[in-house]
Structure 1
Amino acid sequence: MANATKQQAQEVPEMTQHNMTGAQKAAVLLIAMGTQAASKVLKHLRDEEVERISIEIARMRNVSGDVVEAVLLDYRDSAMAHDYIAQGGLQFAREALEAALGPRRAEEILMRVEAAMEVSAFHLLQTVETTQLVNFIQNEHPQTAALILAHLNARKAADIISNLPEELRTEIIYRLATMGKTSPELLRDIEDVIRQHISSVFGAELSASGGVEKVAEILNSSSRTVERAVLEALRERDPELATSVKALMFTFDDLVHISDRDMQRLLTEVDQKDIALALKAASGELKEKILRNVSERAAQMIQEELELMGPVRVRDVDEAQRRILETAQRLEEQEEITLSRNSQEMVI
């Protein structure tokens, strides 16, 4: 029996912060709090919630110290967001969190907090699995789908369009790019559609705008494969619109325009294997700039890795370039580097 139990435990996949359910995170939090404090918390939960969390506590295995720390930090950030909202509302909370944690982390926290507070049906969608949202959007009118994407976090929207059929994806992106301000009445109608599918009741009035800025933001969070496919489809349908979207995007190739100092700072944060893989499809100018801004030994190693690499999947190159771009965007949010698409941009 002991051996069977041990074998079963080994078959349970290791938990990470990203693959845990809400009940599992609650279980980790309560375990970390200790029995006395946890019992006080459980008194305030519904019976079904206590049951779900208790089951997860009983099942809890393979939880590393890093995961426990991440869950505790997540709880702290969420509590901070609730406190800021209580002080001055959502906008105040957003500004305070951005100042403390950066725009991207602030947006991730507020997505969950707003959904928990039931601010709107649109915000609840932020927490729905991507596959479920894809199925939902595929059955809606493209204009409705565009309105929903306009409300979603750019990364969430990018995940969705990456999984849509190409023809539908192009139609939705076109409508999103050409969308202006939307009336609160229409948004309430769309919320009614969402409520029918997720059985939630919300009552906030919202106004939202799509436009080329939103499309550029979404494509910046998409893979290069999706980015190219969407821009090509837009170019065939409306060349001027495609040009407008492209002008607002910051792509991997645009890194050629950042300063040498900023490039050096960026490269200290990037895995050397990602650099070699990303350079497989980079322009000669960008390749030369990157190799110029690493040590002679590092440049030699990157060159050797490129020569030995052989054929690689386009998807792997796209992912490496995306990881480097995400690092660059994080450093810009922390005001450590400046990203610019224009090498002539003046600085003082």
Structure 2
Amino acid sequence: MTALAQMTGLRKAAILLVQLGTEHSASIMKTLRPAEVEAISAEIARLDSVDVETLDEVLEEFRQLAQARQYYVQGGVNFAEEVLIATMGQERAHEVMQRLTASLVEMPFEFLRRVDAKLILSYLQDEHPQTITLVLAHMQPDAAAIILSGLAPETQAEVAHRLAIMDRTSPEIVKQVEAHLERRLSTLVQASDYSNVGGLTALVDVINQSDRTTERLILEGLEKRDLELAEEVRAHMFMFEDIVGLDDRAVQVVLRKVDSKDLAVALKGVREDVREKITRNMSERAALALADEISILGPVRLKQVEESQAVVIRHIRMLEEAGEIVVSRGGTDEFVA
């Protein structure tokens, strides 16, 4: 239980999503905010291996919280606690209810729980003592202690004094400082914090099951945090533009599976070499019909284009899994004659 108690909620979420499988994880990712998608994607990427005991504890904690939340919805806090006490005893029920209560109310600066305290310090040390005090007042004591101990002596003393005499603060000021800090910290995550092994395959699997909008959010977020990692993820994925790398026979097999309407929308606004790769593997008559269909479409929303491209990519992935075509990724494939 010690390892679980020290584990961040972000890491627990990453472990849970990997265990749920790519399809369910992708569905969950769609419901999250962009910053949350970025943070969880990076955490999945740096997952290496999790021992069976820790995995079981994470899943059990999730089950208990889900069960407690269900009781809460049915009859409120008191009902939930009574049922849990009858189910698992007073002490265990109290622990679960504490976590449930915390999950139901999003506290100010909640996002700081998933950011390393030393990283927060690197940003806060040049802020006004009043701002630093406000942030520390909303942090966990152990993280706040790391930040306070890292401040310059004169700042440290002033912050400690302000913290001791702090009473009430305007909610509007708290929101402003929180929003400002979240924006700044989103660009300061250190590339060295991430591992390029172990969790890469899991992240790629989740992205491959996601819609194009979520895929773009994840990749753009990773680029901001760790460009090298983002490029490695891309190398293991198949992007719509990678069609130009397929051999002609593979393209012809794919085209037999794709509806002409999806293909026309998917080709709106793509590079000329992508469109040429497609039309070169069609009959002259089919290529002319496709060109007419594209021109008739007129302006198309980006979301529609991405959805149609995702349909084409899904066909490519299914054909690859069935062994009907070969997809080369990042030049790492080996062939035996």
TM above 0.5, yes or no, is yes
Q: Distance in 1 between matches of 2:330 and 2:38?
A: 28
TM-score by length of 2: 0.56
Q: CA separation in 2, counterparts of 1:243 and 1:173?
A: 14
Residue deviations 1:265-285 (CA, integer Å, cap 9, x gap): 110111011111111132211
Q: Tell me the number of residue pairs that the alignment of Structure 1 and Structure 2 aligns.
A: 202
Q: Per chain length, whose mean CA-contact separation is higher, i.e. which structure has more relative contact order (CA < 8 Å, sep 6+)?
A: 2
Letter in 1 for 2:211: S
Larger radius of gyration: 2
Q: Whole-Å Cα distance in 1 between the matches of residues 271 and 214 of structure 2?
A: 19
Unmatched segments (≥5 aa) in structure 2 = 1-7, 69-86, 88-196
The residue aligned with 1:190 is: 58
Greater alpha carbon shift after TM alignment, 189-198 vs 260-269? 189-198
Matched, 1:217 2:209: no
Q: What is the Cα deviation at residue 224 of structure 1? A: 1.9
Partner of 2:122: none
Counterpart position of 2:302: 314
SS of aligned partner of 1:280? coil
The CA distance in 1 between the partners of 2:229 and 2:44, in whole Å, is: 11
User: Letter of the aligned partner of 2:30 in structure 1?
Assistant: S
Runs of 4+ in 1 over 2 A off after TM superposition: 197-201, 341-348
Q: Does the CA contact (< 8 Å) of 1:258 and 1:339 recur in 2? A: yes
User: 1:344–1:263: structure 2 CA closer, same or farther, 3 Å change rule?
Assistant: farther
1:167 is matched by which residue type in structure 2?
A
TM-aligned CA deviation for residue 251 of structure 1: 1.3
Match of 2:216 among 206, 214, 228: 228
User: Structure 1 residues 307 and 344, CA, compared in 2 at 3 Å: closer, same or farther?
Assistant: farther
Distance 1:341 1:190 in 2: 34
Alignment root-mean-square deviation, CA: 2.3
Distance 1:342 1:182, change over 3 A: closer
Moved more, 189-198 or 175-184: 189-198
Aligned to 2:26: 158
2:276 to 270, 278, 288: 288
Per the TM alignment, residue 184 of structure 1 is displaced from its structure 2 partner at its CA by: 2.1
2:15 aligns to what?
147
> Residue 321 of structure 2 aligns to which amino acid in structure 1?
E
Normalised by the size of structure 1, how large is the TM-score? 0.54
Mapped to 2, the partners of 1:240 and 1:210 lie a distance apart of 16
Distance in 1 (alpha carbons) for counterparts of 2:332 and 2:62? 46
Contact 2:235 2:330 in 1 (8 A): no
Q: What is the aligned counterpart of 2:41 among 131, 152, 173?
A: 173
Check conservation: 1:147, 1:210, Cα contact below 8 A. no
1:263 corresponds to which letter in structure 2? V
Q: Cα deviations across residues 266-322 of structure 1 (Å, max 9, x unaligned)?
A: 101110111111111322111101001111111001111111211111111111111
Identical aligned residues as a percent:
36
Unaligned runs of 5+ in 1: 1-139, 202-208
Match of residue 274 from structure 1: 262
